[in-house]
Structure 1
Amino acid sequence: MAEDLAAQDFERIIAEIGPKPSGLGMLAGDLIRRVLDVVLNLLFIEDIDDLLEEIARAVRELFPVDRVVIWLAGEDLVRRPKVVQGFPEDQKSEILAISYSDQEIAEVKKYAKWLSKLSWFMPAEILQKRGLDERDLLFVKDRNDVLRPRKSPDEWHPLDYLDICIYSRTGKYIGAIEIESTTDGKMLPLETVRAMEIFASICSVAIELATMRDKELAIADAAASRANQISRILTFSKDVLSLVDPDALLDNVLKALKELFGFQAGSIVLLDETENCFRYVAMIGYSDEEMAYAKTLRIPPDALKYDISPEFMIGRNAYYVPAEQLPENRLIWEIYTPSSFDRLRKIRGEPRAHEGAWHKLDNLIFVLHDRHGRPVGAIYPDAPSDGLIPKPETVDGIGIFASLVSISLENAKNYRLTLRAKEEIELLNSLLFRDVSIMNESMRDHLALAMEPHLTKEQRMKYVRNAMEKLDAMIELIQRVRRLSQIQSLDHSSLVRIDVASVIRNQVSKALSKMPDRRIKVLFGSLPENSFVLANDMIGELFSDIIGFSLRNNYSETPEMIISINELMDDFTNRKYFDITISDNGSPIPDEKRPGLFDIPYGTSEFTMTDISLFAVKSIAKMYGGRIWVEDRMSGGMPVGNTFHILLPAG
């Protein structure tokens, strides 16, 4: 335990020990000339490391100094040794590994003997009384001499040291020239210390010049490197991102991460709007088993929300989650196999090799946005080839690349939607022509039969009614296909604010009026007032078709329907949505039919009016910026019906 240093002891030590005037009362002229000659030459050394070595060498040549250390303070104010001369190599390497914080230096200075504003001396007696730490012992030749008393007031004790401070032209502390021992073992005269101060003052100019040159070169190198990197990104992107096939595009994006930025592995997740989850859609650098299992995962939005928390942001749309901050429940969304999950937990507990090393469970994330700014996916580069956490310039480069990927994905998506819309129109036209032809032929046949002279009046009226039913069906089909065509051509500019609760009540009344003979029970859950959405006159058709589909396919003796509107917030966009649920007690729709329930049945000639209605519902919801899906209505852990979800943004 260190002794308390009494005020009187401190005053006595400071007064008795330390550099004193030699009696000449002035600096020797030849010493000043030598100092100026040497130090002026230092101004022309451009490399900072070479300069510091020369400064230390000059100190030992000009002054009776044996051991010297030059310290520099970083931007973090931590003082680190940069040059060590006069020590054995093993001792030198130990000294170069230590540092002192700004607070530690401030504490030491309280007990130092200040010789001027530029220099202070620390006597061994103060260190002995205050207590030594391991760092103090690194600077002595023989540790047996550490605690011995000073032989005489003019002796340089092994624990003594003298700091000549170096300041910038603005008065900022740069570092210090620290004298650890003298050549003759004697205390330095005060005049010599004054000469050292002059030397240090001019050295500060040389250090500033060299530092400025280093900064200028670093800036120039960084600018050149960045320009070269951006040029490579743009050149590479021209070929990679011009692909219109999303799968090929994503595979090439991961190859680009390896080619441009040196990542040996990586993955891309995209939003699956049908199931409101993220899925792995492209991977590179993992085993076939790992990739196959990863593609089965349905990653909840909350998992990505954690990854892109503000605390992890390291750049524009760039985030870094260290393995140490990866929660246990987040591990299940990593790329692995079920049999290797325990190994994944073990890896999570392993320390990283060193401060800047990449950990196997580090996550680097670059968010992909759609044109509305909504996160629709993310790129996860992995396994950097140098094994290090990427530098800011690499992160910036990938950020630029990811922005281009977002644009390309949006373009590929739009191109795919355009092609699909064309295919849908062609299919609808083809089926319309086929069905109208069939209906027309059937209608003509029934009319022809109605004209037979031998038929009774009742028989003739039966054929006429059949012909009229075919005509009505043909008109309805034409109207629905025309309606679909209108939906495809409309955009958001035609939408207005509509109270969805009022629309639902109105459509329920209409549906019940069409089925007066059925004992239908409709229950309304939460239907908040002012549930406004941006829509048009087709919103009624959206709900009438869903309600009608649900009731027509509910063969229960007492059909039941529960309708609710729930408010939801999208944490990504901070936007409010209404989740309109329509639940029934009909037979649950089989799992295999749900994914394509609201799509046109491509590749088949089977095409019903119901198919057109459900596809129209999906198209209308999509036009409003929403989506629709169906899931089991559960009770007691068992499916007891269906629940349709229509998610629409609040208007």
Structure 2
Amino acid sequence: MDMHTVTDELSDLEGRLQKVLSVARDLSVFTDRNELLRKITQTNSEVLGFGATSIAILDGDGRFRVKAMTSLRGDLTMDDFNDYSMPFEELERLLRVAKPIGDIYWVDGSEPILAEMEERGSVIATTPTVESSHWHPRSLLIAPLYRPPAEVFGVVFPDDPLDGMVPTLERAMLIATLAHFASLAIQLHENRSYAEAQLRILTAQRERLSELFRASNDVQRAGQLEEILQMTADAVTSAGGFRRSAIYLRSDDNLELRVTSGIDTRERARLHENGPIELGQFAEIMQPQMRLSRSYLFDHRKYPLPDQLGQQLSVPTRSPDELDVGNWEPQDSLTIPIIESGQLLGVISADEPIDGRFPDLEQVQALEFFADQAGIAVSQMMQYDLLRELAETDPLTGLMNRRSFWSLAERLVVNARGGGFQMAAMFIDLDHFKAVNDQFGHSAGDLVIKEAAANIQNRLRTQDVVARFGGEEFVVFLTGVDQIQALSLAESLRLVLASVSVPDVDSHITASIGVAVAAPVVRRFSPRGLVEELLRLADSALYDAKARGRNRVQLGGVLDS
């Protein structure tokens, strides 16, 4: 796949995600449940590219029944699903044989369980729009709908992919994203009292939430996550009814302070200087007996505030005559978890209610809505980062791919010229690698590639660039090395690759390496042109090394003027 194809695919994914987020912004305002469900299936089909999509909800008798569907060809209607129902136990059976693709599941149409379920009316086979060996009429995609903590209450069934292919991980992430928004919107509709509390805040802060959604559309902008979090913190101290708030994000087993609102500069600096708070320590103010809805209300009259935790948090100073006995006091706090897909991403700490009283259930649930938005936004940031990583990284080895290699190598040329440093490129090819695949299988071959990549990367400096160009080929770009140093490094790489050992592969691995060097005074090439010329010379040297018997280093040329 060339660089332009990867760029086009990434652009297409970004465009589809923006459309999903645009629809998601409106899902919570649907007052008619059937219209809401139809909008979800319509979006999945039209935006994500499926000929048919249905959504089934778990009824009180423990069976999933289709409540809405979209068919782009018009050959399916709701009448076709009148007799359709799937017991919860059968969904569990399907998930046991399904292959996970990100957060959704694919069941190959040849699975015997699908034929059985079709006979019982639990599965409907559809004729694919595009004939393909990859998609069977009974193939099934499953995007579960969850309510906290991890209870499945519905399923989106995308069917008949218009490209005839099983979704890639990137496309599966978009399906899962829509399912996440659908889950939230359906639950908002089902719990009207909770939804109304959330929508009152939403109406009062419509512009803030619009900015939050727009921000989650453009997560590649510098500091974007901080802006999203700051909007959430500011909402807590405006519409949320508190004077002070802070947002902590989880990092391993710690909570790190990211943004504050209503806290002065000196106090904010002190909090940052204190560093992360251990999760176990923060849990002292998040005990089960402190729960109010999904949040934790800490009343220091009932539970003592540990001294060390009190020093790491921001506790406002108040004189005795400012306190109203029985109401909120400086050592009290409200902690709202930021949770997405059952994972704790962080917490919002709210302090000093404007009216001086403890918040009621409705106010806490409204604030939890903001926490939900923060969770969605942070999750989208992580998904975007993963998409970007997939576009720039070789999935087998974790090395750069061609696209990211060219971009970084060109920047290194500019820097090397500015600093007067020499440059070098290497083309590395594992010898007789096809024989490894033929004799031991492609899985073993993949292990050899991964082990070779790790050995190359471990031998290089942190500033060196290494990428997998495809198959068993690797390229290396170096700066600040002369011809002797480049050849010496290439020889050390040859030796380390000769020591590669993979279980169940009884074959000696060797490598041929071509090297080319350029002086900083070479100016007749553009940065990209110089990288191309060095790789061309290194590639030519590689072929010479192969012709001379393999398992050797060959110098291809020196560009010095």
TM-score range, shorter chain: 0.3 to 0.5
Larger RCO: 1 or 2 (CA < 8 Å, sep 6+):
2
Larger radius of gyration between Structure 1 and Structure 2: 1
